[in-house]
Amino acid sequence: MQEIGIGLVGGGYMGKAHAVAYSAVGAVFNTALRPRLEMIAASSPATSEQYRVAFGFARAAADWRDLVADPRVEAVVIAAPQALHRAIAEAAFAAGKPVFCEKPLGASLADAQAMTLAAESAGLPNMIGFNYVRTPATRFVRQLLADGAVGQMTWFRGEHTEDFLADPDMAANWRCQGRANGCMGDLAPHMINCALALMGNISELSARILTIHPTRPGPEGPVAVDNDDHGQMMVRFASGVMGHLYFSRAATGRKMGYAYEIHGTKGAIRFDQEDQNAVWLYRADGPEAQRGFTRILTGPAHPDYLPFCQGPGHGTGYQDQIIIEARDFLHAIHSGQPVWPRFRDGLAVAQVIDTAFASAQDGRWQRVNHD
């Protein structure tokens, strides 16, 4: 087995998830490359040292530039604020190092385009962190669709809804400032990626985007919210299938509402991340009186489940999704073969989001440019 030095930029919520994943991935999947937690960089030398001790890294960097340049850091994982994604990724590729970047790819479409160009020009392994689409359940759904289990697909409905900003009296925070931190920049990318993965490219869309609570309490009085709380799109996929996508950070009662429903000529599928270990499958065959949705609990027969647990129905969790991502990134580095989703897949999501804002502004259907 060969070691690889991992450099992690960012130590917050997602930084911890990635640190845990790279600590565990070798044992879970018996990977050919075994991660060595080499260096971590955060917002200051003090916080870098704090995370180094907490997560078990060998060293802390005073600045992310020092981490990227260090010869013992052989692959870079970006879990920093999205405004920094582009600079870190470009520097890492210039240094000849593979990059895994949390979603969204960048803070703007221009960032996503530049990062994809840098990745492809360097010819180095690159991945983006769309973790929810990697659950055993959704991987199984992709297999069902590929096998024609529901016949010809005729409709898709997807949502990513949460309620962490549903309360109008909740104080303003960093999520309330900047387009990239709004619902369309934060939650929408996950479900758009899911729609593209299950249904193929979106060719055109009509979108509406809204700020529900325009001001929030602040320490010195009301603070203006300058980004969106929710958005929706009617979409037409390149296949001709119609669909609808909805995203909200103010959906009261929803905690992890990453959910989708697919209709086809021979059946239908439903999934909800709040019940992430179950897929609901309807097959339009047999006597009408005996038809109905069947709840399928994930188990060792489904993709990427067995390495975590031998018992059907016991389930996998959020952290396991990040471990699966780590396995795939290590495989891309070791094999030299691209592993989905790459930076280009993150760019496709950014193109849809940019088109949605254009449609919301002029009120018209817009074509999505996937060049």
Could you read off the pLDDT of 195-254 as tens digits, one per residue? 999 999 999 999 999 999 999 999 999 999 999 999 999 999 999 999 999 999 999 999
Distance CA 284, CA 293 (A): 10
pLDDT in tens, 149-163: 999 999 999 999 999
Residues 48/11, Cβ–Cβ less than 8 Å = yes
Considering the chain, tell me which residue range(s) the CATH 3.40.50.720 domain(s) occupy.
2-131
Distance CA 134, CA 14 (A): 16
Band (166; pLDDT cuts 50, 70, 90) = very high
- Best CATH choice for the domain 2-131 from the list 3.40.50.2300, 3.40.50.720, 3.20.20.70, 1.10.3720.10: 3.40.50.720
pLDDT in tens, 43-68: 999 999 999 999 999 999 999 999 99
Beta bridge pairs of residue 231 = 209, 247
Superfamily of the domain at 136-316+348-362: Dihydrodipicolinate Reductase; domain 2 (3.30.360.10)
Distance CA 252, CA 48 (A): 36
Considering the chain, tell me which residue range(s) the CATH 3.30.360.10 domain(s) occupy.
136-316+348-362
Distance CA 366, CA 96 (A): 38
Band (370; pLDDT cuts 50, 70, 90) = confident
